[in-house]
Structure 1
Amino acid sequence: MREGNVRFVCVSTPHVPSLPHRARRLAVTLAGASVPPASAASRGLDCHGTIPSSPPRTRSLSLNPATPSIISARPWSVPLPLPVAAREAGPDATPGFRPLPGPPGLNICTSGSATSCEECLLIHPKCAWCSKEDFGSLRSVTSRCDLKANLVRNGCGGEFESPVSSTQVLRSLPLSSKGSSPAGSDVIQMTPQEVTVNLRPGDKTTFQLQVRQVEDYPVDLYYLMDLSLSMKDDLDNIRSLGTKLAEEMRKLTSNFRLGFGSFVDKNISPFSYTAPRYQTNPCIGYKLFPNCVPSFGFRHLLPLTDRVDSFNEEVRKQRVSRNRDAPEGGFDAVLQAAVCKEKIGWRKDALHLLVFTTDDVPHIALDGKLGGLVQPHDGQCHLNEANEYTASNQMDYPSLALLGEKLAENNINLIFAVTKNHYMLYKNFTALIPGTTVEILHGDSKNIIQLIINAYNSIRSKVELSVWDQPEDINLFFTATCQDGVSYPGQRKCEGLKIGDTASFEVSVEARSCPGRRAQPVFTLRPVGFRDSLEVGVAYHCGCSCSTGLEPDSARCSGNGTYVCGLCECNPSYLGTRCECQEGESQSGHQNLCREAEGKPLCSGRGQCSCNQCACFESEFGKIYGPFCECDNFSCARNKGVLCSGHGDCHCGECKCHAGYIGDNCNCSTDISTCQARDGQICSDRGHCVCGQCQCTEPGAFGETCEKCPTCLDACSTKRDCVECLLLHSGSSVDNQTCQNLCKDEVITRVDTIAKDDQEAVLCFYKTAKDCVMMFTYAELPSGKSNLTVLREPECGTAPNAMTILLAVVGSIILIGLALLAIWKLLVTIHDRREFAKFQSERSRARYEMASNPLYRKPISTHTVDFTFNKFNKSYNGTVD
């Protein structure tokens, strides 16, 4: 902003009902000058800025009569988080007030250009309005809208308007100590019960409330069981559940009642078997269980009763059924058990527990469309005379939001008892359905009693506040003080409580603006699962008491306006501090009063100078306003084409961000819930939350909440030092002195054995110097500390006997050798037998014929001799064969 210029920022605000709904012109003495509001400002724009350091000059602005909204100034600053604002305010600051924003020395009250008492009250909680008639003059530097101390110093006396926010407790009954109160008296677990807050916009007021989990509080437990075929073994194991469960629960409360209901799924395709042959027995053809009852949606079988034998008897009558797909229709049953209060028998003064047992995933809203069910669930009770759910085949499954709403309305704590493979799915449901816990159910339901006891203890060990019907223009801020006596700003939940402990909450209430109509809304604070509640009525300080003394056509206003709160509200076409000037009159000698500075065009070139004041032109892009038409509501920074990112209002070239957003174009969210890791730490303590997103600062860390960091020391490594210190100084008197620094953030429990299947804790182990294994588990607590469960002594194995090892080695070698020989002999025998069998087979197939070898000569030759003796030559004649 250039020195010597006037700069205003205006924002849209609701109409204050006390102002007259008629056309009017206003003028006000501001910084020694008559400064009426800009005509553009009358459409609900809040103006604030700085007044030039030039000599007093008369400025006049026209107030648009077309709308009944008023001008309201707002602080020139980015809203700070509550703890920061508190620090800047200093220890001596008035409780509930924010520090005056803006540059040092800036008086936001006088620079806010307030033209009425109501507008002044909206600028800042410390601004006050002087309604004294002769306060100030045209030549003075006083303003009717100023700090209270300045008004008194400048002669206003006691005639000023400066309401403050306050709290009035209407009903506060003391907390009960036990649930078994005398007959006719209610058990009180929350106080106070009724409060009224009177709020001035921007000014906070606080009140305290206390919640106590009283001892021996009555318990109503409704057992809702999945009777699909896969739960047959579970049904067999709970036939005597009532007796055993009642024995355990009566150790916790003397007033216990038990009820029973069952469910399967909608009896339509594709959820169930609908062929005619399956109508009476859907298990036909199923070899393991050939007989079962027809499928059904939900049956209420036993109202809540203290007769546990009736529960056992009803369970023994039940038989399983069969559905077609894997998911079950259990959420239909949960909703009916919640809303059919009279049929179920929920008591007014009792802890309501609804145990939901199943071994599969549930059907949810929109699944019913697969079966042609397009009508959403209406959230009403639909049990007939036989206590059967009649709308099963008519309406869709309920949504998670509807379930959460109906469970909260009826103060019911839902306990998911599910098998291990579906634990994480139902664990995610608990984040969407308040007051819900989940426990792992064994495959045969043998641990159901311990499961219910654990869930009961978990529910009774925490208190969490919920808000119902919160008005849109109301901000709430909670500070919890739990059993450790430490305050936790921004938290509305306490965990780790014992029965009888009291949790305290400080609630700060602030109105951001005035409602558009006369209204006194009521919102409710209620602990999740409790019947008790606190009703908070809201009244707004948006009007001024001096506004009741209106003087229409007052002589003080030249007969041309209404005198109210020390000012004249001029009739149409009249202007001036006393309505002495008629619109259209030209005073050329004073046209410089319509220039922002010497050399500047009249009315910034965007308006017409009339009666020594600027009447701004209309624009198709938005509103032009200001004493010199120098401002508009459309020339601000945009984000992705959206003015002020859609999270703020444009005022004179600056984005005025809504609550929860900061930045030049209001694109930066101050909400840190999106940066909260599963353990409750912001960005896993490895980064900073900037604009609702984590910026990881730890080297190697990444992920949405910086939860992944392969190179970082994990929690097991950081807590190992504490465990090793405890192990080193076990039984020593210096235990506390030596280890207190290492273990200052740990709540330590020493045990003989570690539960390795605890879903809520992380298991850690390491090897000690003596080759022993030391194990411990940790679980993060809401207080920022962690619950560390440590073994008393590390687990060390005993060394085996040397002779035993030698004999074992030798014996193993011999046995292996004999085994190899046996295998070799077996293989050789098998091979020989195969070869012999092959020879025998070939021999049996051979066919021989008698033949002689042509090359063969007999060893015996036969010669025939014919002896004929020739006596003449003495020779023989003959032949040889």
Structure 2
Amino acid sequence: MYAISVFVFLCLFFGKIEHGNCQVQQMLNKLVCIEHNECGACLSAASHCRWCADINYNSGAPRCNDDESLANTGCSQTLIQRPEKPVWEVVENNSLQDMSPNSLENVVQIQPQRVHLSLKPRETQTIQFSYRPAKNYPLDLYYLMDLTWSMKDDKETLVSLRDDLPILLKNLTDNFRLGFGSFAEKPLMPFISTDARRLANPCSVEEEACEATYSYKHHLSLTNQINEFIEHVNSSSVTANLDNAEAQLDALVQVIACGDKIGWAEHSRKIVILLSDGLMHTAGDGKLGGATKKNDDQCHLDDKGYYSDAATYDYPSVAQLYRLLEKYKVNVIFAVTESVKDHYDSLNQLLEDFTYVAKLESDSSNILKLVKTGYEDIVSVVDFHDDSDQGPVKIKYFTDCGVKDSPMKEETRCTGVEYGMTLNYEARVTLEACPEFRSFKQTIRIAESQLGQDALTLEVDIQCGCACSSQVQERTPMCSINSHFVCGVCQCNKGWSGPSCDCAIGNENESAELMAQCREPNATRSIACSGAGECMCGECECDYGFTGRYCQCKTCDVSLENSLECGGVGRGVCVCGQCACTEGWSGSACDCTDRNDTCIAPAGTDVCSGHGDCVCGRCECDVADESGAKYSGMFCESCATCDNPLCARAEPCVACHLNASCTDTCTIGSVNYTVIEMIGTTVTDMTSCFLRLEEEGLECEYKYTYSPESSGVEISISSKECYTPTSARIMTNGLIIMGCVIAIGLIVILFIKCAQVFSDRRAYAKFVKEAQESRKNMQELNPLYISPISEFRLPDSFPRDKSD
């Protein structure tokens, strides 16, 4: 065995052997089997591993091997243990159906209802199911009212809604029932006054009479008689306490736990509407008054409907309330006043799956509106849970949330669900590894979290054992006292280990003989468990990340696609830290397919359109031109300077879909095209196609992408832009240009005219100024005028008398 192991790994490391080398693959197949010494572990190792349960089989050869090897080494064909046949059966599959009048038996909200399947280690099965909320599903609505003194007016408001209440509920569902209860406070000090007068009449300070303080009182079981409900509300009496916190949680636990007294129906949507203007006490507060026992989540109502053990049990915790709401599938609407709404918002964050908080007016005048909005908010949410945590099976959910042609997303919770919507789900059920090597059944219940009455039940056969395991012989001369005979070999009883099953686990003595069993023969380093584990009674318990009989192997890579070792069943098996991939798969985790059909474009023939190589089922594109730019697209069908042939092939189906002249699926040649509209979403695909169509006088451009599916090609229309057609745009642009030219000409003419006027005005002003200057210098005399007066002057040198 060890020689084979060494040879295989040397070949893989030095030889660069092709993947299709049959001889190496056969040795890998043997190696993954022969190291196992139990039947269950053998059959779980790989699909080709077989176990020889023949008591007379040659002890020198491995009992775990492939069919051919076991037959060649003398194992009887009738005693060769083989993997069980896979199981897949839809046991119950009733069609979805709304409620029939006066009958609940025919209501079906989930389809199918029961599936029987099998799982092997590293195997995933996909179960498709649908969910549709049934119309007129029964509603059980229980009013739980704070009847302390401050809520006196609110009770009267509720009584005044005698006529409006049934109309509102009829609009929600034809099948409804109402119940009524009230709460106040634990009748203990310091929550109430212990004065004798105040005990009998807590409202004596208000000079009015009221009922003695109580924690919770059930007034009316669920009924469809509105008048009876109003009468019980009207006849109820208020009470009082000292602090501003009440016993809401005490009351809620009793309402939920006392199902037979409240009258909850098995098939109904159960809603409690809690009206209050006060805060709430939680676990621990009751100890102040002497209620020291932890709340037991049980019903404690006496014959008169009072919570009889309020003074004994403490208030429940929020965690206790959550578990009860989840167990009994009850929803709570907290209708509270503005002053305490923040307190209940914080509570709602912890109980989000089952509660709704709304603002209540001081006189409760908007109570009907709150009932309607709260009910619609609760029924618009669909969330699926399961109980698979009780076993080794894990489940992932994918859904379209009722949106037609929407892709499946990993999600359990859908919002905005309306009556008539069908939600499609996929449950991917996986068994990563065998918890123990035996076959057993696990029953998983997948149910809607707020109702829980309708469910999909999965009956899962965990195929981790052998048929011969059921034929155990506890005592046989062949086996030691601490072992039993099973499947042709002696196996140690639980708690015992070692070659002779004489070492008690947890109390082992590390003798040289036992330690030798933990050392790999012929290894260069004789370290127990290869230094990667602990030797326990001659067997290695490996550290995380290591495996093998001597912890000599590392664990194999996990596929990123499905989170399974070596890709899971059908892709490969782990052989001492190396994935041995089956035909058609390669890569370190066997997540690289050798098929190239996914690289061939629809209706095409060339791999990657002749412009690239198919690697792991995807195209790696070549360089398109000297600039270094590459071909693009899923099939390397596009480049910056070439047309996309796939766009042209898909155009007729896209146009047909947009014109509503065909169904969502059309066929061109041998290819089916499915068109879905996802306008407004972000397209991650780098290759997009464009289609231009005329719609209502506008030219619209649609952007879409394509992706190949098993049934054909899926076309996703991601955007739409509309504008005026080309001819109209040319005419419009021409008119705009002409208008612009005319406007510019007018502006130029106006500018020239303004310049001329400005120039003329400047010239005229200059003329006027010169004329004025001329008149001033000439004193306004005509230069041709000759004066009749003669004037003579003596020369300045002529002597003059002093008298002159």
TM norm. shorter chain > 0.5: yes
| Matching residue of 2:32 | 110
Pairing 1:313–2:231 present: yes
Identity across matched positions, percent: 28
- State the shift of 1:570 in Å: 11
**Within 2, Cα distance between the matches of 1:446 and 1:304?**
23
| Matching residue of 1:380 | 298
Alignment of 1:633-644 (within 5 A): 633=542
The structure with the greater share of residues assigned to helix is 2
Pairing 1:161–2:73 present: no
| Matching residue of 1:260 | 180
Equivalent residues of 2:138, 2:176 under 8 A apart: yes
- State the shift of 1:110 in Å: 1.5
| Matching residue of 1:532 | 454
- State the shift of 1:201 in Å: 3.2
**Within 2, Cα distance between the matches of 1:356 and 1:113?**
64
**Within 2, Cα distance between the matches of 1:573 and 1:276?**
74
Secondary structure at 2:303's aligned position in 1?
coil
**Within 1, Cα distance between the matches of 2:66 and 2:311?**
68
Pairing 1:191–2:111 present: yes
- State the shift of 1:263 in Å: 0.5
| Matching residue of 2:425 | 505
**Within 1, Cα distance between the matches of 2:225 and 2:200?**
32
Change over 3 Å in CA distance of 1:235–1:593 after alignment to 2: closer
Query: Which residue identity lines up with residue 535 of structure 2 in the other structure?
Result: K
TM-score (norm 2): 0.56
**Unaligned regions of 5+ residues in structure 2, if any?**
11-24, 501-515, 566-679, 683-694, 706-716, 720-804
| Matching residue of 2:147 | 227
Selected match of 2:535 from 623, 629, 637: 623
Equivalent residues of 1:167, 1:207 under 8 A apart: no
Equivalent residues of 2:388, 2:395 under 8 A apart: no
Query: Which residue identity lines up with residue 309 of structure 2 in the other structure?
Result: A
Selected match of 2:378 from 446, 459, 467: 459
Equivalent residues of 1:165, 1:204 under 8 A apart: no
Equivalent residues of 2:291, 2:310 under 8 A apart: no
Q: Which 10-residue stretch deviates more, 306-315 or 145-154?
A: 145-154
Alignment of 1:658-677 (within 5 A): none
Secondary structure at 1:388's aligned position in 2?
coil
**Within 2, Cα distance between the matches of 1:597 and 1:405?**
58
Query: Which residue identity lines up with residue 467 of structure 2 in the other structure?
Result: S
**Within 1, Cα distance between the matches of 2:149 and 2:704?**
55
Per-residue CA deviations over 1:39-60 (Å, capped at 9, x if unaligned) read: xxxxxxxxxxxx222899xxxx
**Within 1, Cα distance between the matches of 2:397 and 2:9?**
48
Equivalent residues of 1:463, 1:503 under 8 A apart: no
Q: Greater relative contact order: 1 or 2 (C-alpha under 8 angstroms, separation 6 or more)?
A: 1
Per-residue CA deviations over 1:7-40 (Å, capped at 9, x if unaligned) read: xxxxxxxxxxxxxxxxxxxxxxx4677xxxxxxx
Secondary structure at 2:181's aligned position in 1?
strand
- State the shift of 1:117 in Å: 2.4
Equivalent residues of 1:470, 1:524 under 8 A apart: no
Selected match of 1:171 from 86, 92, 98: 92
Aligned length: 537
Query: Which residue identity lines up with residue 493 of structure 1 in the other structure?
Result: R
Selected match of 2:6 from 35, 38, 52: 52
**Within 2, Cα distance between the matches of 1:435 and 1:112?**
54
- State the shift of 1:451 in Å: 0.9
Change over 3 Å in CA distance of 1:370–1:474 after alignment to 2: farther
**Within 2, Cα distance between the matches of 1:309 and 1:661?**
62
Change over 3 Å in CA distance of 1:448–1:174 after alignment to 2: same
Alignment of 1:41-440 (within 5 A): 51-53=5-7, 110=32, 113-123=35-45, 126=47, 128-131=49-52, 145=64, 161-163=82-84, 166-177=87-98, 179-181=99-101, 183=103, 185-286=105-206, 290-433=208-351, 434-440=353-359
Equivalent residues of 2:145, 2:182 under 8 A apart: yes
**Within 2, Cα distance between the matches of 1:460 and 1:374?**
39
- State the shift of 1:358 in Å: 1.4
**Within 1, Cα distance between the matches of 2:131 and 2:517?**
66
Change over 3 Å in CA distance of 1:191–1:366 after alignment to 2: farther
Query: Which residue identity lines up with residue 235 of structure 1 in the other structure?
Result: K
Change over 3 Å in CA distance of 1:371–1:150 after alignment to 2: farther
Equivalent residues of 1:479, 1:489 under 8 A apart: yes
Query: Which residue identity lines up with residue 279 of structure 1 in the other structure?
Result: L
Q: Which 10-residue stretch deviates more, 407-416 or 258-267?
A: 407-416
Change over 3 Å in CA distance of 1:320–1:478 after alignment to 2: same
Equivalent residues of 2:33, 2:42 under 8 A apart: no
- State the shift of 1:452 in Å: 0.8
**Within 2, Cα distance between the matches of 1:220 and 1:593?**
65
- State the shift of 1:502 in Å: 2.1
- State the shift of 1:406 in Å: 2.5
- State the shift of 1:261 in Å: 0.9
Change over 3 Å in CA distance of 1:254–1:378 after alignment to 2: same
Equivalent residues of 1:243, 1:309 under 8 A apart: no
- State the shift of 1:221 in Å: 0.9
- State the shift of 1:329 in Å: 0.4
TM-score (norm 1): 0.52
Change over 3 Å in CA distance of 1:570–1:346 after alignment to 2: closer
Change over 3 Å in CA distance of 1:737–1:54 after alignment to 2: closer
Secondary structure at 1:238's aligned position in 2?
helix
- State the shift of 1:417 in Å: 1.5
What's the RMSD between the two structures over aligned residues? 5.2
Per-residue CA deviations over 1:194-236 (Å, capped at 9, x if unaligned) read: 3444333332333233322111222221111111222233223
Equivalent residues of 2:53, 2:489 under 8 A apart: no
**Within 1, Cα distance between the matches of 2:498 and 2:174?**
79
Pairing 1:445–2:364 present: yes
